[in-house]
Amino acid sequence: MIDIDASTAPYIPTPEEIEAQCRRIRASWSEEEKLRRASTTRPGKFCKRVFRCHLPAQEMEAVA
């Protein structure tokens, strides 16, 4: 078990410290790693959502 001193407040980094640490980490990435992380399959901000639905054959014929 970790012994935590109750008199010490937890360290919470500032947004600037987080960004600086992220820049330091990204600087160590290889070109391959940068490309891998840049190409995502996650939907972009303006991508349309695609909903899948199932229609019985009779309903499909009625729509067509």
21, 13 contact by CB (below 8 A): yes
Cα-flanking dihedrals φ and ψ of residue 16, to 5°? Answer: -65, -40
User: Domain segments of the chain: what residues?
Assistant: 15-63
What is the chain's pLDDT, residue by residue, as a tens digit (64 residues)? 566 666 777 889 999 999 999 999 999 999 988 888 887 666 556 666 666 776 676 666 665 5
Contact yes or no for 42/49 (Cβ under 8 A): no
Q: What is the pLDDT of residue 22?
A: 94
Instruction: Report the pLDDT value the prediction gives residue 37, as an integer from 0 to 100.
Output: 84
Question: Per this entry, what is the length of the chain?
Answer: 64
